[in-house]
Chains A and B, each alone.
Chain A
Amino acid sequence: MNSDLIQYIQEAKVSGMSDGEIQAELLSVGWNHGDVRQAFLDNISPELENPPIEQSEKIEAVVSVRGLIKHYGSVRAVDGIDFEIPKGSILALLGPNGAGKTTLVRMLGTLITPDSGQALIGGHDVIKSPDDVRKIIGLTGQFSAVDMVLTGRENLVMIGRLCHLSKLEAENRARELLIRFGLSDAADRQVKTYSGGMMRRLDVAASIIAHPEVLFLDEPTTGLDPHGRIELWHIIKELVAKDVTVLLTTQYLDEADHLADQIVVIDKGKIIAKGTSQELKAQVGGDVLELHLTDHSQAHRAAAAIEALGIEKPRIEELEAHIFMPVRGGASVLADAIRRLDQARIDLADIVLRRPTLDDVFLKLTGHVAG
């Protein structure tokens, strides 16, 4: 292990830099990405990792998670997670299947008890005072939880009443939400006649009927069409504008990119990166050169031809005849690449130089594509 690196990270953390900023900085001064990542994973003394929660932070951060762990048998579904969400902001939890997103959300929503660690929601401990937590949260699980036999309106009124709204309040609120979620035409139909997307929207509506201060959404837009997704994004942004604090999980990188103030990438129960979308993208280094070939059998030759231009090895997606490679140096790289590919007699369908997306970040961090 590289002790310089660890010392640098420790000092930077003490000086108050976020992990993302530190990583970006280390990469920009030429540290190898693998070493940096290892240093973050091996990390740093436990005191630094789990500093005690201070009073001032409590007020700032509406959600505060420290060293949360949950095992299922020998599987560590959630393996030591820390983050904080300031009031009125959105944190997106990003991770592939089985990363531990749902397990984490269910712990924060008081549905399962953590094995160890601490989570405070609005200052209430999820383990010690789950009832207080439930009064201020709304939770939409990964799979819709609405009564198929009742109508959409009946579902909302029922949940509202169970949250102790008066009959009138619950009815007014249900009407408001049915309109807002584009369900007023279907309001008095049984939910079993709804499409998957309609059911999902009703599900989200149910979780905000009692004006929660903190909202947990587990893959809220999975199964929605593009229009429905954008509509839901608007609704989430409206809530945040009214100071609701949101944690959402997603498989869609563009969703995290679009919505989140803060992104936490997890894999196998551990955080592998944390920061704003800008900070995460900075980790890829420069830009990304992307080739689309007409003939996938040429992929390896094409990769070899451009390899010298990259700051990392090119990645080949043979089936689709795509090649991706992080590069630095702007448009001249593009010209150089085209010349080399021409010399190697590669048939190009398309070539682009673009800013990195979260997909690139994700791939780099986990070694596989999201989803």
Chain B
Amino acid sequence: MKIISETLILVKRSLIRYTRVPQLLVFSTIQPVMFVILFAYVFGGAIKTSINYVDYLLPGILVQTTLFGAMMTGIGLADDISHGMIDRFRSLPMSRGAVLAGRTISDLLRNVFVIFLMVGVGYIIGYRFEGTFMGALGALFLMLLFGFAFSWISALIGIAVKDVETAQSAGFIWVFPLAFISSIFVPVEGMPKIFRLFAENSPITYTVDAVRRFSVNQPVDYTFWASIIWLAAILITFIPLAVRQFRKIS
């Protein structure tokens, strides 16, 4: 299939960029590392959780890292638009979807790297994964699917705003509330009613809770499936929207 080889060519392009500009990777990990330190040592003492707080926090941080990483998808596309790369691709006899798939898939591969790096950071501050090997794979799969789904939302925003700075600030507007009104850092039980309602039904909370269960070796429950349903719904909605928006670029 044409679109597959085109996508692979563009994935390769993005990955080469990460090796040439390692800062791109370094900066996308500094932020989560700061969050780990801030929450584990500064706020952690004040937060009551059923398990040891570091063990509670780290799965949340992993999901948060992929969520913030998803913002890079839109920023990268906006950058390509403003530098004329997208126009160049649009003048070639290639599939429209390949440009977007190339970007979201390379961001998925970057997430694999960043997740392992953050687990390493977690191990330094005392986190331990207590689940099975299959559980680890399940958690990895869910987080990658999560990052991939949110990459498509970010892609839509990036293509719509077409400019790096706007994509950056537009990203924070939706990512920040989603990240904080969820079970990433604190249990939702302590939240005021309205926030709690939001947090309990958020795809972030389902994903974090499911990953957390894998981490402490609890069996898969509805959180996993609710997360899968959410992510599938996001993909089904946002892939066509992003592709449509891409076709509208002029």
Contacts and interface: CB of A to CB of B under 8 A. Distances in A.
Decide if A and B are genuine partners.
Answer: yes
Interface string A139-182: 10101111111100010001101111000000000000000000
B88 interface: yes
B250 A149 contact: no
Contacts of B20: 149-150, 190
B93 A163 contact: yes
Indicate the member of B5, B21, B88, B94 with the most A CB atoms within 10 Å. Answer: B88
B51 to A, nearest CB: 43
Contacts of A337: none
A32 B88 CA distance: 46
B242 to A, nearest CB: 19
B131 to A, nearest CB: 39
A149 B21 contact: yes
B49 to A, nearest CB: 43
Contact of A134 (B6, B10, B12, B91): B91
Contacts of A190: 20
A134 B93 contact: yes
A139 B250 contact: no
A144 B84 contact: yes
Contacts of A141: 84, 87-88
Interface in B1-38: 2, 5-6, 9-10, 12-13, 16-17, 20-21
Main secondary structure of the interface of B (DSSP, over half): helix
A147 B93 contact: no
A110 interface: yes
B250 A143 contact: no
Interface string B46-90: 000000000000000000000000000000000000011101111
B93 A150 contact: no
B103 to A, nearest CB: 13
B92 A110 contact: no
Chain B, interface residues (CB within 8 Å), range: 20 to 34
Nearest to B83: A145
Interface string A110-153: 11110000000000000000010011010101011111111000
B16 A111 contact: no
A141 B87 CA distance: 8
Contacts of A110: 90-91
A246 interface: no
B21 A137 contact: no
B93 A135 contact: yes
Nearest to B94: A162
A149 B6 CA distance: 19
Contacts of B12: 158
A109 interface: yes
Nearest to A136: B93
Contacts of A163: 92-94
A149 B84 contact: no
A206 interface: yes
B77 to A, nearest CB: 14
Contacts of B87: 111, 141, 145
Indicate the member of A139, A159, A162 with the most B CB atoms within 10 Å. Answer: A162
A149 B83 CA distance: 12
Contacts of B90: 110-111
A131 B20 CA distance: 33
Contact of B9 (A137, A139, A161): A161
B91 A139 contact: yes
B89 A162 contact: yes
B250 A162 contact: no
A206 B21 contact: no
Contacts of B2: 164
Interface in A68-122: 109-113
A20 B5 CA distance: 49
A150 B9 CA distance: 13
A150 B13 contact: yes
A158 B7 CA distance: 11
B84 A150 contact: no
Interface string B204-243: 0000000000000000000000000000000000000000
A110 B90 CA distance: 8
Given A150-B13, A158-B13, A164-B2, A145 B88 contact: yes
A163 B90 CA distance: 11
Given A134-B93, A149-B16, A150-B16, A112 B88 contact: no
A87 B94 CA distance: 25
Nearest to B80: A147
Contacts of A145: 83-85, 87-88
A243 to B, nearest CB: 20
A147 B6 CA distance: 16
B92 A134 contact: yes
Indicate the member of B21, B85, B92, B94 with the most A CB atoms within 10 Å. Answer: B92
Contacts of A146: 85, 88
Please give me the 7 A-B residue pairs with the lowest Cβ-Cβ distance, nearest first. A145-B84, A145-B88, A134-B93, A139-B91, A135-B93, A112-B250, A149-B17
Interface of B: 2, 5-6, 9-10, 12-13, 16-17, 20-21, 83-85, 87-94, 250
Given A137-B91, A150-B13, A161-B5, 20 more contacts: A111-B90, A111-B250, A139-B91, A141-B87, A143-B84, A145-B83, A145-B85, A145-B87, A145-B88, A146-B85, A147-B85, A149-B20, A150-B20, A154-B13, A158-B9, A158-B12, A158-B13, A162-B10, A162-B94, A206-B88
